Structure 1
């Protein structure tokens, strides 16, 4: 297998909007990045009467917003409750975690209100525990979240695991009842159409090469010419580079991969996911997986495989993780293999606010579907100085990374170290 092929492109080959070709001389708001965050921000600003231009370096839909796993949920913090409490205290921890539930509530409401055709299915997520120690830790965490935040959560022992997943690999796990999935490219297309209808000027294949402050305004030099903006939003997230340095120097770009299986029988799909759940697992380098919205294939993804190894190597690495969970798929091939970037931050938290003279929202740490729409709305309110613009993330410092040129190399080294630790845990603690 050679070359990347994204499963989501199959159902939505075109985003279906008439992108602008003529660059205006000025705009109220220039938004760099045409993914979920950029388009969500643009919609709110345009509906408030602002002139908004969205700049995308390539075609709309070439970044992570159209290539991710489409996993939906509260997106709690990577440090876990105890890690957060140790760092911020219990009051702040509750506020940060509550934002995840707020984001999911908002996501559900906006999909319904805007009639966003994105195959939203909140069938719940089963997170498998690789070891008994993981199971006990997950039970403590879930109980704390259920008691303090009202999270809809239940533990499932190994004796009942087959009601959730067609696998004997895990020692049990937890069910997060409000999680689910969407078709990510359909969601992006729906947001793009909303933005277009709101009067947003969408400029694809129009990379911003340089930004320069001038008398309270910003001059943006693009591949198509120059434009002057009153405010600038950088929504490039993991696809930031030195041209959008305010974001680039604050995030670590992590390369991830995904595969889609060949079509499976309905009986096999029902065996793998009896209740239509999406799936995750414990571990430092974990795999996520889910049935496609039409329940004809399964998608598997994560940080398996080398970014420089090509699609064959990527597919081989993901296959190994797939077969440890579902050995019954040993004769099943892959129809699609692709990769994309996600943005991590030093504190494992997303960030929103103003840095280096531009507005930023991003650093979702692999959980950006619900967060990005929520942050886009909140960021627009901040720019407009509207009420209810605050989030619990506002006061978290978004400091630049030390030794930024070595960040991606360091992340690759840590990934290998984490994978070794996961393998050791499986050998010694199962």
Structure 2
């Protein structure tokens, strides 16, 4: 496998202190140790792969999932737990220019359908996810950003059919959102969850439906056969008529070769405090249960969880390795203290990082890999994989089944990925992008 970061980024080290691991017991599954055949093989046991496996198995398809480590090891088990609107980064204006207004509305409604799918799956399969938050709230970090939030109210109505609520600066404290912000906007869509519990429950549901999931089974090579594809692993192989690549930010450049240069992994880092006391919560004036993010391009995301721990995350560093990881976490802690000066004394015993996945088009992709009939891919959710990853997994399943009318499937998601400039050296673009975003955030 050929990765664009060094091996540290794909080791256990960046997630070694992940809080979610202490909240949900790991489920042991065997590694593949023989040759197997199936209808659909899926590489990747995160939200996308497991959602696809569940929907395929429910349709009576024999499906095998090959996970290189274990369910929940990657971004699906170490993210911030925001089940919210998102998945792409194009504005309404950009979507209209590229695809037209109808297609833009179709994509926006798919964002809402993605949230509803997670809601449905957790209820249908009795997955306990520590759910909280009534939608999501964006906070304006500059006065001019509040003007932009006001303009979004009619856009949210048009795109999602929802009534958004503006929170003026003077009202923030009454909402339990006291801080150095200029107001906010609450969209009544989405909820917060424990991602490790959700991905574990999703795997259990897929297994109950008939899908077989293998742990510690890294796909080493993919070979086209007369009847489909053969995936070679260390101790066995899988022959399948159809193949789904569902590795997102942990993808490789050569599985398949088409992936090279078409996705950009970017690090995101998170810290979690110890449980806060009533006095500490009162001192900060932050008692809201909302999942919140700020209006920066390089945004911060944070939420007070049901056990009164505060989760705080932001984009991570541009380098990997022990010292780079320590530096990235120190930056998160620095911003945490700036946002919540009353909690400067509060310990943050848990910290970790993981990979989100970006595309050149700033949109996700689900579909058949060009010039590879029977091979499908789903990836690039731009940091919003809880909902969109789950949804795209379902779209991939329905596409494989030839049932593309089962869920809203806008053309913005069907459009194949193009290569980044610089190809295998595209990581060199990130410092320039982060510099531009940083200047724009001032």
- TM over 0.5, shorter chain: yes
2:106 corresponds to: 95
2:238 corresponds to: 227
The answer to which of 228-237 and 355-364 deviates more is 355-364
Q: Is 2:186 the counterpart of 1:167?
A: no
Q: Is 2:301 the counterpart of 1:288?
A: yes
Q: Is 2:391 the counterpart of 1:391?
A: no
1:140 corresponds to: 151
Cα deviation digits, residues 104-144 of structure 1 (max 9, x gap): 12221221112122222242322111112211112112322
1:371 corresponds to: 388
The answer to which of 182-191 and 21-30 deviates more is 21-30
**Contact residue 316 and residue 353 of structure 2 kept, 8 A:** no
**Contact residue 19 and residue 201 of structure 1 kept, 8 A:** no
Q: Is 2:268 the counterpart of 1:268?
A: no
**Per the alignment, in what secondary structure is the counterpart of residue 244 of structure 1?**
coil
Q: Distance between the aligned counterparts of 2:316 and 2:37, measured in 1?
A: 44
Name which of 39, 48, 54 aligns with 1:37.
48
Q: Distance between the aligned counterparts of 1:10 and 1:261, measured in 2?
A: 14
The answer to which of 91-100 and 395-404 deviates more is 395-404
1:201 corresponds to: 212
1:368 Cα offset (Å):
0.9
Residue 239 and residue 252 in structure 1: after superposition, are their counterparts in 2 closer, same or farther (change >3 A)?
A: same
Map 1:242-261 to 2 at 5 A. 242-245=253-256, 246-261=258-273
Q: Distance between the aligned counterparts of 2:122 and 2:294, measured in 1?
A: 27
For structure 2, the 5+ residue unaligned runs are 1-12
**Contact residue 31 and residue 232 of structure 1 kept, 8 A:** yes
**Contact residue 58 and residue 209 of structure 2 kept, 8 A:** yes
Q: Is 2:175 the counterpart of 1:155?
A: no
2:3 corresponds to: none
Name which of 294, 311, 333 aligns with 1:319.
333
2:34 corresponds to: 23
**Per the alignment, in what secondary structure is the counterpart of residue 334 of structure 1?**
coil
The answer to which of 270-279 and 36-45 deviates more is 270-279
Q: Distance between the aligned counterparts of 1:267 and 1:124, measured in 2?
A: 27
Q: Distance between the aligned counterparts of 1:178 and 1:60, measured in 2?
A: 27
2:311 corresponds to: 299
Residue 201 and residue 324 in structure 1: after superposition, are their counterparts in 2 closer, same or farther (change >3 A)?
A: same
Residue 148 and residue 350 in structure 1: after superposition, are their counterparts in 2 closer, same or farther (change >3 A)?
A: closer
Residue 186 and residue 251 in structure 1: after superposition, are their counterparts in 2 closer, same or farther (change >3 A)?
A: same
**Per the alignment, in what secondary structure is the counterpart of residue 349 of structure 2?**
strand
Residue 183 and residue 148 in structure 1: after superposition, are their counterparts in 2 closer, same or farther (change >3 A)?
A: closer
Name which of 410, 414, 420 aligns with 2:433.
414
2:291 corresponds to: 278
1:210 Cα offset (Å):
0.8
Cα deviation digits, residues 257-276 of structure 1 (max 9, x gap): 11111221135346554331
Q: Distance between the aligned counterparts of 1:80 and 1:194, measured in 2?
A: 35
1:340 corresponds to: 354
**Per the alignment, in what secondary structure is the counterpart of residue 26 of structure 1?**
strand
Cα deviation digits, residues 208-255 of structure 1 (max 9, x gap): 111111214112111112221111000001100134234453211101
Q: Distance between the aligned counterparts of 1:209 and 1:305, measured in 2?
A: 28
Residue 167 and residue 142 in structure 1: after superposition, are their counterparts in 2 closer, same or farther (change >3 A)?
A: same
1:191 Cα offset (Å):
0.9
**Contact residue 379 and residue 389 of structure 1 kept, 8 A:** no
**Contact residue 256 and residue 339 of structure 1 kept, 8 A:** yes
1:428 corresponds to: none
Residue 178 and residue 267 in structure 1: after superposition, are their counterparts in 2 closer, same or farther (change >3 A)?
A: farther
How many residue pairs get aligned? The number is 420
**Contact residue 128 and residue 197 of structure 2 kept, 8 A:** yes
Q: Is 2:250 the counterpart of 1:239?
A: yes
**Contact residue 254 and residue 342 of structure 1 kept, 8 A:** yes
**Contact residue 41 and residue 376 of structure 1 kept, 8 A:** yes
Residue 168 and residue 118 in structure 1: after superposition, are their counterparts in 2 closer, same or farther (change >3 A)?
A: closer
Residue 166 and residue 210 in structure 1: after superposition, are their counterparts in 2 closer, same or farther (change >3 A)?
A: same
